[in-house]
Structures are given as structure tokens and as C-alpha cells.
Amino acid sequence: MTGVFVAGIGMTGFGRFPGETVESLALPACLDALADAAVAADDIDAVYCGNVYGGMLPAQRIAGQLGLTGRPGYNVEAACSSSAVALHLAVQAIRAGQIRTALVAGVEQLSASGPGGLRLNAADPDIAQGLTMPAAYAMRAQAYLAATRATLRDLAAVAAKNRGNGSLNPRAQFRTPATIDEVLASRPIADPLTLLQCCGTGDGAAAAVISRHPGPAGRPVQITASVATSGTTGQHDLTREPLTERAARAAYAEAGIGPADLGTIELHDAFSIAELLYYEALGLCGYGEAASLLRSGATTRDGRCPVNASGGLLARGHPLGATGIAQVAEVTGQLRGTAGAPARQPRHGLTHCTGGGITGYDHAACAIHILSAA
Amino acid sequence: MSAPGQADPAAGRPAAAPGPGRARGPGPGLPPPAPEPARAPQPPGATRLLPDAWRQRGSGVCLIATRCGHCGTLTFPPAAACPRCWQRAGLREEPLAQPGTVAACTVVHTPAEGIPAPYALAYVDFPGGIRLCGRLESWDDIAPGDRVTAVAGVLRSRPGGDLLGWLFRKAGS
């Protein structure tokens, strides 16, 4: 199978930038990725864009500002995993020999829709009943706390860890650290989740050039697994994440590694409980053991396998369409040993996004990538 | 949703008109529809969430699923085609067996459009593998494992007309 490399990466800072546009946010991230990969316009065979709320044809709008017209532009909407699914499609096309090099962008401007939570589909029956994303995760948290020995302080410790990591990341939207007590004392959103256990809404963009060619980086980064799949409907065990479990199994098989080989992970900590559930679903520990793994320090920035060293969704921020590629940019930087990355230079890293918010599903979409230093 | 003073756009529409999406009949055990279903006492402009999926009986609500006559799969809300075997004919309406069981619940502290905070939500499981997300009428003494039944209520209060549907109430209370 053709090897696929992350040849170049670029990313804006995340924050609230109501004066920008989808195009003006995406442009610097794309230019940085193109420069990092040292490619010319003729090298780019296709443009992919992950975006949720930015209107029609963002891939073409961005391509038009980069002189990348006259070639395929693909627009991918998969809620919070939009640009991760876009990356998956680009990887598939390169592996199949249809294209050699692609620009994959993720962009979102949530400040354009004003303050408050996400505008979910008002016609969805669960949303009409009043379901919000925090409420959906809060019910998982209630179920998980009842079924395991995890405590409210463990939930808050996830947020404290990731806020601490975000304070070291100049691109993070939230750079003020918070203690466990401060997390617990922040205002209640949906019991047991408090404000600092919920990712904020924001704006930003990230881009990657992926290619059959490794690019000029001293330590090339290869995409050794690319999995995208959908969830299932019905009565799920709320204390487990079967969608992520299934995607992770497929990704490990594709990369020929296991969870113990991972040296860094950027996972979908949209809410504090999510990180604990995903430790287990990704196979980092057994069922009910996530709080012990967190307390052991293994997932801190200096631990054996840092999780969300960037600050994750909780601190780096979560402009939906941008998150998938932002995770890839973060892990690629760590694999390359870029300044500012955790001291330990990993050999393999994993990125993980889910996308939800519709009736019946556990989550609607999930994408996992494994990146390996070549 | 209609603006204040405008007629409900659904009012002139024939109820349950036969068509590609409505090739199903009432199944056994289902209460016959009232001569004029819950539309009559409804305030002007009000809309019903999933109007085919519930019928009011006193203060109680009968939640209506469809069962596939071919493979037996139960689907809520009522489906135009079976999601398992894709049959479009032979889907029979069937009431969800109440009470349901609370799988998880939470109190939400942020108001939503037409929903003052705090309010409570639950996932409620019914026999046949159906899980519904719905609002709890009150939540002081509700916990996972509790039995709840559906009652009629206002889901969202809106100037252009309320959104009507069902709330869950602890069984026996």
C-alpha cells in the first residue's frame, strides 16, 4: 500500500475572532502548511475541507484564494469530526493512487452565531426536548460515576490537567490554568459537569498537506492508520464508548501497533467525562480503570503517554471543523520534536474525534488516525 | 413554526393522508384516535413534536411506535420503512409499553430557547430496545432505575406558539 505522509502542517491560534471570515481564518493555516511542505500549487491535486456552520463550498472558497482552482474540492461535514473525516478521504484517495498530494483544511467560526452553546438541529426530536451536548455527556458522567469508583474530583482532574497543558500552548483559546477545586467551583452546566469541564465555542483553522512524498521535515511523519466510521442506534451502555472501541481496534490493526506503543494522544475531550471514557475505549486501561490511569500521571504532559498535551478541546478550544486537523498538527509537531512539545519524543501518536448531537446514536461519527515517525 | 396571529400551517393539511410515508395502519392494542385528535384544544400557533408519535389520553400520553410485520423490528418514532429489512408495507402502529425505565438523568442549568433553567432530562428505556431522550416533569426524587410514564406537556414556550409533546413523570406519583 502507498505510504501517506504528513508533509506540512499549519494552524491558527484558537479563540473568538468575530471580525474574521471562514476564508480569512483558513488562509494563514493553509499557507503555513503549504510552505512547511515546500510544495507549489501544481503539486496539489485536490483540496478537502472540514467545516460545519460556514455555508456552502468552503473548500472552493479557500482554494480560490490560494490559486488552487480547476481541481477537485471536497466539502465534508461530520460535526466535530469533520476535518478528520476529510483527512480520511484524502488518505484513501492517495492510497488508491488517484492523487499524490492533497491540501486538507479544517475551519470553523462559531463566534459568527453569537454567544452560548452550539446551534444544534432544532428539528431533531432529542434537541427539541431540550437535549444539549453538555447534557448528553452529563448523563454519561452520571452513569459512569455510578458504575465505577471514579469521583467528581477525577472528572475535574481531567479539566485541570488539560487547562494546565493549554496554559503552555500559545495557540490555545484558554490559557489560564485551573485547579481541581476551581473546576468544581465553576458554575454548574449540566450535573455533574461544571463550566470548566465543558469545551468552549470558538474560531480557528488548521491545515495539513498530505502526500506520497515525505516532505522536507527532518523526521518524516507517516499516517499509518486512517479509520472513519459511524455509530449505532439503540440502548447503549452509557458507561462505554463502543464506537471509539471499534474504530480503535481497526486503527491498531491497520498500523500494526497496540495502545502500549503510543507515545502521545490527542483525543476528543469535549467534556471531562469523555477523556475518561476514551482512555478505556482506546485500550489504554481496562473498564472502570480510567480514573486510576489519570491519577497515576501516565497521561500528563510529562507522563508515559501524554493525552491532550495541547490542552485538548477543553483548553486549546474546539472550533468544530478545525479540531481534527488541529490534532494532527499537534501530534505531527510532537513526532518531529518541534520546540515546545513535551520532552519525550514519541514514535507513534494517535488522534481521535467523534461527532454527535443527533437522535438515537451514541455518537454519529468517529475518526481515528495513527501517525508514526518514519 | 408560525408567526403570532398566523394560522397554524398544519391546520388545513389532511390528517394522516395516505401517501408513500403513511402506508401503515393501527395495530392491535392501540387506542383508536379520538374523533378530533389533540388538535382541537390546542392553542393557536402551537405545534406538536412528532405529531404521529403520540396521542393524548387524559393527562397521559400513549407513545406510538411501528412494528414491522415482516421482521418484527420496533421503531420509534413511527417509520415509513423498516430500518432493518427495508419493508415499506406491513408496518403496524403499536404503543410503547409503559412505564419506561430511567437509564440516566441530569439537571441542566442553562436555559434553552423557550425552556427556562433549570430543567431535567433523562434517557428512558422501553421494551423492544427503544431509548427516548425526554424531559422530566420534576426531578427531586428521580434516579436511574426508576419507572416513568409519559404525560402531556409544553416542551418549549414560544411567542409564535408553544411546542407541545410529552414529559416523563415518576410512575405512581
Q: Do A190 and B122 touch (CB under 8 A)?
A: no
Q: Which of residues 107-136 of B touch A (CB under 8 A)?
A: 107-110, 112, 115, 119, 121-123, 125, 129-131, 133-135
DSSP letters spanning B38-78? TTTTSPTT-EESSGGGEEEETTEEEEEEEEETTT--EESS-
Q: Do A359 and B133 touch (CB under 8 A)?
A: yes
Residue A114, pLDDT score: 78
In a mutagenesis test of the B interface, which of A119, A129, A145 is the best target, namely the one with the most B β-carbons within 10 Å?
A129
* Contact (Cβ atoms closer than 8 angstroms) between residue B12 and residue B77: no
| CB of B151 less than 8 A from some CB of A | no
Q: Do B104 and A140 touch (CB under 8 A)?
A: yes
* Residues lower than pLDDT 50 in chain B: 1-23, 34-40
Q: Is A198 a catalytic residue?
A: no
B104: nearest CA in chain A?
Answer: A139
**Whether the complex's predicted ipTM surpasses the cut of 0.90:** yes
Instruction: Look up the pTM and report it.
Output: 0.91
Contacts with A191 from chain B: Cβ below 8 Å: 106-107, 109
Q: Do B103 and A235 touch (CB under 8 A)?
A: yes
Q: Do A129 and B112 touch (CB under 8 A)?
A: no
For the cut 50, the answer to whether the pLDDT of residue A275 exceeds it is: yes
Residue B122 CA, distance from chain mean position: 14
Under 8 Å CB pairs connecting chains A and B tally to 81
Residue B29, pLDDT score: 59
Question: Of A339, A265, A248, nearest to A301 (Cα)?
Answer: A265
pLDDT tens by residue, B49-63: 999 999 998 889 999
Residue B25, pLDDT score: 54
Fold of A125-197+224-313+323-373: Peroxisomal Thiolase; Chain A, domain 1 (3.40.47)
Ordered by start, the domain boundaries in chain A are: 5-114+203-220, 125-197+224-313+323-373
Q: Looking at CA atoms only, how far is residue A121 from chain B in angstroms?
A: 13
**CATH code of the domain made up of A5-114+203-220:** 3.40.47.10
Partner-chain residue, chosen from B49, B110, B156, that has the shortest CB–CB distance to A117: B110
Q: Do A130 and B129 touch (CB under 8 A)?
A: no
Residue B33, pLDDT score: 54
Q: Do B108 and A143 touch (CB under 8 A)?
A: no
Contacts with A116 from chain B: Cβ below 8 Å: 110
Residue in A80, A285, A305, A366 annotated catalytic? A80
Contacts with A239 from chain B: Cβ below 8 Å: none
Q: Do B131 and A234 touch (CB under 8 A)?
A: yes
Residue B12, pLDDT score: 36
Q: Do B133 and A138 touch (CB under 8 A)?
A: no
Partner-chain residue, chosen from A140, A188, A238, that has the shortest CB–CB distance to B109: A188
Residue B28, pLDDT score: 56
E strand segments, chain A: 5-11, 46-50, 73-76, 101-109, 188-190, 193-194, 203-211, 221-230, 264-266, 348-355, 365-373
| CB of B48 less than 8 A from some CB of A | no
- Assign A1 a pLDDT band (cuts: 50, 70, 90): low
Q: Which residues of A215-238 are buried (b: 16+ CB within 10 A; e: fewer)?
A: bebeebbbbbbbbbbebebeebeb
Q: Summarize the confidence of residues A122-151 as an average pLDDT.
A: 95
- Assign A50 a pLDDT band (cuts: 50, 70, 90): very high
Ordered by start, the domain boundaries in chain B are: 43-170
Partner-chain residue, chosen from B105, B108, B129, that has the shortest CB–CB distance to A142: B105
| CB of B30 less than 8 A from some CB of A | no
Contacts with A360 from chain B: Cβ below 8 Å: 131
Helix (H) or strand (E) holding B105: strand B100-108
